[in-house]
Amino acid sequence: MKVGLVGFSGSGKSTLFQWLTGVEPDPSKIQQGQTGMAHVPDDRLAKMIVKFKPKKSKYAEVAFLDTPGLLLSERKDNPRRLSILREANGLIIVLDGFSATNLAEQLTKFREELVFADLEIIMNRIERLHSQMKKTKPQKEREQDEAESATLKRIQAGLEAGQTTAQLGLKPDEEKLIRSFQLLTLKPEMVFINRGDGNFSEPPPADLQAMSKHIVSAPVRLERELMELDEETRTAFMADLGLKGFSRDQVIRDLFYGMGRNVFFTVGEDECRSWAIDQGMTAVEGAGVIHTDLSKGFIRAEVMGYDDFLKAGYEEKTCKASGTFRLESKDYVVKDGDIMHIRASV
Ligand SMILES: Nc1nc2c(ncn2[C@@H]2O[C@H](COP(=O)(O)OP(=O)(O)OP(=O)(O)O)[C@@H](O)[C@H]2O)c(=O)[nH]1
Ligand SMILES: [Mg+2]
């Protein structure tokens, strides 16, 4: 999964990117977008690593993409700036919450840019389709073109009326027709408020909350600066500011889960790992994340819920004795925190 950090110029995307991934943004790479990875912190995995003392351990990761900021003064160019996001699986709209107060307005304006970029693609495609449709073609291809054109026109009308493509409730066959356009307004979206030194404890304003269910905020530059101080100075500063702790780990988790992801664990003395999957994925799909052979040869998944495993002192035999060790089939929907072992014939 790759998540794009997007926003107007100067909203703090590169500052956020550096804070999340530890990768220094390279200005010469920004036009193509720069990718960095972040581990998804997990207390549960940390505790199991202490218990199992494995030779190897690895946390699930999420990739973030830093992107060039949009400019209202050069609106015509924004679709091009946004084009590198077409490959992203989700968008985090970064709002300037340190020098500006109009957060809902910033979000409205930014969403207009996304709509504008999608409309450009859709209208170009409709135009090309229509000139194609004038030529004689086999009946089947003709029908396909007509179906695509109808779907595109429906999306165009929706976007022009202020809806996102995601809100239109496209049917699976309609989604398939337009998948290759990778519309920005079809991608999962979250809002990140980059807070300043003085207002980091403010909740998101009500008008912004009405516009998004997935809002995360943190004082990014402040926390970065504090991390660079020695511990004594830092503690004093933090007490002064009324800052109780650093929020980076929680922010990464909020962004990861907000983007519709989950983890499951594999544990043992050799290796302890968390694996990222989409919410709603089945056991056989989870097996495929570990290795395609495990999904091909899938027999059963041995599963324990994390809380049951914890209660059992992380002992599989105690789970077996108390009946919380389960054998699940292919279509079992994996829950966040499941400990899984895949039985497969490979
Ligand atoms: N006061 C304050 N300034 C910040 C904060 N975050 C970023 N800035 C400043 O805002 C400016 C822009 O930050 P960037 O992270 O480069 O913003 P950007 O969104 O990547 O900008 P573009 O790449 O031009 O789109 C820099 O001068 C930062 O130091 C913050 O939390 N507080
Ligand atoms: Mg930047």
Residues 201 and 315 in one domain: no
C-beta neighbour count of 261 within 10 angstroms: 22
Does any domain span residue 143?
no
Examine the fold and report which residue of 261, 294, 310 is the final residue of a domain before the chain moves on. Answer: 261
Angle between helices 248-258 and 13-21 (to 10 degrees): 100
Q: Is residue 173 part of a domain?
A: no
Look at residue 201 in the predicted model and tell me its pLDDT. 86
The C-alpha atoms of residue 295 and residue 346 are separated, in whole angstroms, by 10
Q: Are residues 299 and 190 in the same domain?
A: no
pTM, two decimal places: 0.93
From 209, 232, 261, give the residue that closes a domain. Answer: 261
Residues 38 and 82 in one domain: yes
d(CA 218, CA 97): 9
For residue 198, the model assigns a pLDDT of 84
Rounded Cα–Cα distance for residues 308 and 238 (Å) = 38
Q: Compute the distance between CA of residue 96 and CA of residue 107 in angstroms, rounded to an integer.
A: 10
- State the Rg of the chain over Cα: 24
326 & 186 share domain: no
pLDDT value of residue 314: 97
Centre of ligand 2 from the C-alpha of residue 13, in Å:
5
- Number of domains comprising the chain: 2
> What six digits make up the tokens of 15?
């500052």
- The answer to whether residues 70 and 8 touch, using CB atoms and an 8 Å cutoff, is yes
In this structure, the answer to whether residues 236 and 110 fall within a common structural domain is: yes
DSSP, collapsed to helix, strand or coil, labels residue 119 as helix
DSSP state of 333: B
Q: How far apart are CA 172 and CA 174, in angstroms?
A: 5
**What is the CATH number for 202?**
3.40.50.300
Q: Tokens 């994925």 identify what position?
A: 281
Q: How far is CA 293 from CA 239, 262, 297, 300, 328, in A?
A: 53, 22, 6, 14, 18
- Select from 340, 324, 209 the least CA-distant residue to 262: 340
Nearest CA to ligand 1 atom 5: 221
Residues 303 and 205 grouped into a single domain:
no
SS3 category, 297: coil
Indicate whether 63 and 90 sit together in one domain.
yes
Residue 305: both structure tokens together: 């819920």
* Ligand 1 touching residue 219 (CB < 6 A): yes
C-beta of residue 337 within 8 angstroms of C-beta of residue 265: yes
Divide the 346 residues of the chain into consecutive groups of 10 and give the mean pLDDT of each group.
96 96 90 94 97 97 96 92 93 96 95 95 93 85 90 95 90 91 95 92 94 95 93 92 91 97 97 98 98 97 98 96 97 98 94
Residue minimizing CA distance to atom 28 of ligand 1: 12
Domain end residue (candidates: 233, 261, 289)? 261
Residue 301 sits in a domain of what CATH number?
3.10.20.30
Give the bridge partners for 263, in sequence order.
Answer: 276
**Interatomic CA distance for residues 144 and 127, integer angstroms:** 15
Pocket lining: 5 vs ligand 1, CB cutoff 6 Å:
no
Ligand located closest to 7 CA: 1
- Predicted local distance difference test score (pLDDT) of residue 181: 93
CA of 216 to the centre of ligand 2 (A): 19
Quick one: pLDDT at residue 142?
A: 87
Instruction: For residue 75, give its domain range.
Output: 1-118+180-261
Among 67, 69, 68, 66, smallest CA distance to 8 is for 69
Task: Return the ligand number nearest the Cα of 218.
Answer: 1
CA–centroid distance, residue 16 to ligand 2 (Å) = 9
Map residue 37 onto helix, strand or coil: strand
Please check whether residue 5 lies inside any domain of the structure. Answer: yes
- Give the position of tokens 């949009």: 70
CB of 21 shorter than 6 A to ligand 1: no
Q: 220-227 vs 13-21: helix axis angle to the nearest 10?
A: 40
Claim to verify: residue 340 and residue 202 sit in the same structural domain: no
> What number does the ligand 1 atom closest to the CA of 18 have?
15
Is 294 inside a domain boundary? yes
Q: What is the pLDDT of residue 313?
A: 96
Does the CB atom of residue 164 touch ligand 1 within 6 A? no
Report pLDDT for 132: 86
Query: Residue for token digits 């060790």?
Result: 325
Would you state the torsion angle of the CA atoms of residues 152, 158, 160, 164, taken in this order, to the nearest 10 degrees? -100
Question: Is 220 near ligand 1, meaning CB less than 6 Å away?
Answer: yes
